[in-house]
Amino acid sequence: MLSAALSADITAADGSARVRIDYALESDARTVDVELLGFGAATADELVVLGTMGGPLPLHVASGTRKAADLSLPSAGTDGVTRLSLAYYVPRAVERSSGRLRVRVPVASVSLPPPAGVGRDVFTAEVRLPEGWSVTEGFPSGLARREDGAYAVALAVVPAVVTFRGRSDGRRPPGVPLLLSGLAGLIVLGAGLAGWRHLRSIAA
């Protein structure tokens, strides 16, 4: 596997996600296994192989929340690279509670490892959210807002899920990294004050 680029549209009011993932593969295999892990209610039941005349490809339960399907790969291009584009629908990608959000987008992965010693980001993702939503914590942890409003991240491996917590009411509470940084600052400040008081007591 050379690369995987995921795009997820979560702008629908019903909390669903429309997902597309484009793979660039370098393999002599003619078929490939596709897997998708479910996370709570966030899962998909079928895939659509874009660029073909075939209908939806059902995902069968393999074990636990893992679903899978076998599909035939298209022919490689003149550059020797096989390009595979999949689309799927996650009807319950968003959980809401009093303005709080939890979003989980399962990633459909193929059973081909990246080439050894690639040394670069193989996986990229972009997530489009409704206006006014904000992200407080995300996985992968580099998930960040771009100038065009979408959130994007790059990773050296293909994760099983892109997930984040956020707000839909415009509030921006501090996330875990900020809270930890604040706690560390308080500890340092406390230690400094204790040292200052100790020096004053000695001087007195």
- 153 lies in the same domain as 203: no
- 156 lies in the same domain as 188: no
Q: Which tokens sit at 140? A: 């992968």
- 64 lies in the same domain as 163: yes
Q: What is the Cα–Cα distance from 66 to 36, expressed in whole angstroms?
A: 6
Q: What is the Cα–Cα distance from 13 to 39, expressed in whole angstroms?
A: 20
Strand 123-128, strand 3-9: pairing: parallel
pTM exceeding the 0.85 threshold for the entire prediction: no
Q: Which domain holds residue 185?
A: 174-204
- 37 lies in the same domain as 124: yes
- 104 lies in the same domain as 189: no
- 189 lies in the same domain as 110: no
Q: Residue 87 corresponds to which amino acid? A: A
Q: What is the Cα–Cα distance from 95 to 165, expressed in whole angstroms?
A: 9
- 185 lies in the same domain as 167: no
- 114 lies in the same domain as 203: no
- Res 202: pLDDT: 58
- 188 lies in the same domain as 116: no
Q: In tens digits, what is the pLDDT along the chain, a chain of 204 residues?
A: 789 999 999 999 999 999 999 999 988 888 999 999 999 999 999 999 998 877 899 999 999 999 999 999 888 888 989 999 999 999 999 999 888 999 999 999 998 876 665 567 899 999 999 998 989 888 888 889 999 999 999 998 999 999 999 998 866 555 445 444 445 544 544 555 555 454 555 555
Domain tally, the chain:
2
Q: What is the Cα–Cα distance from 139 to 107, expressed in whole angstroms?
A: 12
